[in-house]
A = this chain, B = another copy of it.
């Protein structure tokens, strides 16, 4: 919040997050996975979906809304697919397990899909993709939260859906394709943070309850009644709306638990799908196509005034590599929230590895 630019060693932050969750009652094996997932959020620049979530997760562990021990219940196992009841276990851990299970099935059947009802929150989707593409898998993740509503159907103003992301990982070089895109223009997290900080959004991505366009995050939320526009906005938001319905159906529909049950626990309905390119053709033939595609994107002519052309996930990977090499700067306020948690459980706050003071 001041001019300092404090950097931490990523491993130190991961250790702190892990020990905080263990102290709050989470099984160590799960705390390891969740801490890693939250850290990866910050490494990849998804700072609303990284360690900023730890405080909320700890509250949920302490009040029992996030289940601290046990395994998902397998409700249906059917060849290449499965349905789990997550019993509100940590979503980061559940989603990782579902990805591994879908991958095992894809090795056997070419494709695998696991859907989870009653997961807790699943944080940053990008990091699941990274693990998948490193295994040579294509991964798709769909997620919604039936306990919350931020997005209205196209043509409407009544909040019904969540931002309902689609995440897609494709193995490729020089960069894998790591797409993590909400089907609404922006996320609830960014609206809430911008509101807290008194900032406007970068575009008129919201609708007021009266149906007026707005970039003011103060209009957003259950009491104010504003909604986030679907991808495409007023111009062609029927497309984002349609994709958002697809996500609702592939998550709450397939898992059989969602808005009709009116859940109140912070959670997620999650579907993880893995496609194994090697079930179709030799990996080098798949890669000849996608590597060509990535190179063609990067080598195309740039629009005057635009940023460089990148593939989805490229900036995140560059940021991640730099932070792993020379330390991670947390989003303003997150280090303070970590210090509070560390103090509460008698854990040491990591020592910064670099402090640059302005004009001293």
A349 to chain B, nearest CB (A): 36
A285 to chain B, nearest CB (A): 4
Residues of chain B contacted by A33 (CB below 8 angstroms): none
> Digit string of A262-293 for contact with B (CB within 8 Å is 1, else 0)?
00000000000101010111000110111011
- Interface size (A, Cβ < 8 Å)? 88
A207 closest partner in B (C-beta): B303
> Digit string of A286-317 for contact with B (CB within 8 Å is 1, else 0)?
10111011001100111111111111100000
Q: How long is the Cα–Cα vector from A212 to B106 in the complex, in angstroms?
A: 45
Residues of chain B contacted by A250 (CB below 8 angstroms): 138, 275
A297 closest partner in B (C-beta): B153
A157 to chain B, nearest CB (A): 5
Q: Could you say which of A14-22, A231-239, A350-358 contacts chain B?
A: A231-239
Given B109, B153, B286, B309, which contacts A256 in the complex, CB threshold below 8 Å? B286
A185 closest partner in B (C-beta): B236
> Digit string of A150-171 for contact with B (CB within 8 Å is 1, else 0)?
0011111110100000101010
Complex contact B303–A288 (CB within 8 A): no
Residues of chain B contacted by A305 (CB below 8 angstroms): 211
- If the complex has contacts A110-B78, A110-B79, A300-B153, are A293 and B185 also in contact, measured as CB distance less than 8 A? no
Q: Does A246 contact B (CB under 8 A)?
A: yes
- Interface residue ranges, A against B (CB under 8 Å): 75-76, 78-81, 83, 108-113, 115, 138, 152-158, 160, 166, 168, 170, 172, 177, 179, 181, 185, 203, 207, 210-211, 231-233, 235-236, 238-243, 245-246, 248-250, 252-260, 273, 275, 277, 279-281, 285-286, 288-290, 292-293, 296-297, 300-312
